Structure 1
Amino acid sequence: MSTDINTEAHQFIETTIKNNPVVLFMKGTPDAPRCGFSSLVVQVLDHLGVEFAGVDVLQDEDLREGIKAYTDWPTIPQLYVAEEFVGGADIVREMFQSGELKQLLTDKGIVAA
């Protein structure tokens, strides 16, 4: 497979990020994460009471490779807030622990429940 991002996958990624204030590209679904890193980010977002769109990259090889190419970030999960790439599980965990993630959400006008 080419390392170039598939056009369909690229369009899907862009549309999803534009149409949802918080998006998590993950392995599995928010209700049934399929890896510990995805589960960790879901737990953080749930703890903060943030509504988010979970996109299961395991359903589509082009999407799984496409999201990595889109951000030039080699791992999944990937969190986006207000169309901005935040990072993966380690970054999200560190930002949550320091309070930065909650502040970012507040600054972007995303209200936690």
Structure 2
Amino acid sequence: MSDVQTWIENEVKSNDVLLFMKGTPTFPQCGFSSQVVQILDYLGVDYKGINVLENMDIREGVKQFSEWPTIPQLYVKGEFIGGCDIVREMFQAGELQSAFSEKGIATAAPAQPA
């Protein structure tokens, strides 16, 4: 399992915005993953999506890595942000946009959701 943890850690550190999700950004395979993809796409954030359904070791390993029991999981500049509910609440409050801005991540959307 340590190889999986090392791989996950490398992915988290190597990508400014990383989403562990069920499915892909172009074809999310659960409603929660779809909601986070919609938020990131609305904000115009460049991100990498990793489909945990393709590898059970990654699916379980990311839960151990973050000590968070559910998927999706969003990381920004190596920091675990949260799952769908947290991302949605942060977005609605304008906090997600601020977090991206503070970490130097460009967004294409206005500061407040429409």
Does TM, normalized by the shorter one, top 0.5? yes
Q: What's 1:42 paired with?
A: 37
Q: What's 2:83 paired with?
A: 88
Inter-partner Cα distance in structure 2 for 1:79 and 1:48: 14
Equivalences for residues 32-111 of structure 1 within 5 A: 32-111=27-106
Equivalences for residues 17-28 of structure 1 within 5 A: 17-28=12-23
Q: What secondary structure sits across from 1:14 in the alignment? A: helix
Identity %: 57
Is 1:112–2:86 an aligned residue pair?
Answer: no
CA displacement at 1:42 relative to structure 2? 0.3
Unaligned runs of 5+ in 1: 1-5
CA displacement at 1:12 relative to structure 2? 1.2
Q: What secondary structure sits across from 1:23 in the alignment? A: strand
Unaligned runs of 5+ in 2: 109-114
Inter-partner Cα distance in structure 2 for 1:11 and 1:28: 22
> Which one-letter code corresponds to 2:90 in the other structure?
M
Q: What secondary structure sits across from 1:76 in the alignment? A: coil
Runs of 4+ aligned residues of structure 1 deviating over 2 Å after TM superposition are none
CA displacement at 1:92 relative to structure 2? 0.2
Inter-partner Cα distance in structure 2 for 1:108 and 1:32: 28
Alignment RMSD? 0.6
> Which one-letter code corresponds to 1:61 in the other structure?
M
Paired residue for 2:24, among 25, 29, 39?
29
Q: What secondary structure sits across from 2:10 in the alignment? A: helix
CA displacement at 1:47 relative to structure 2? 0.3
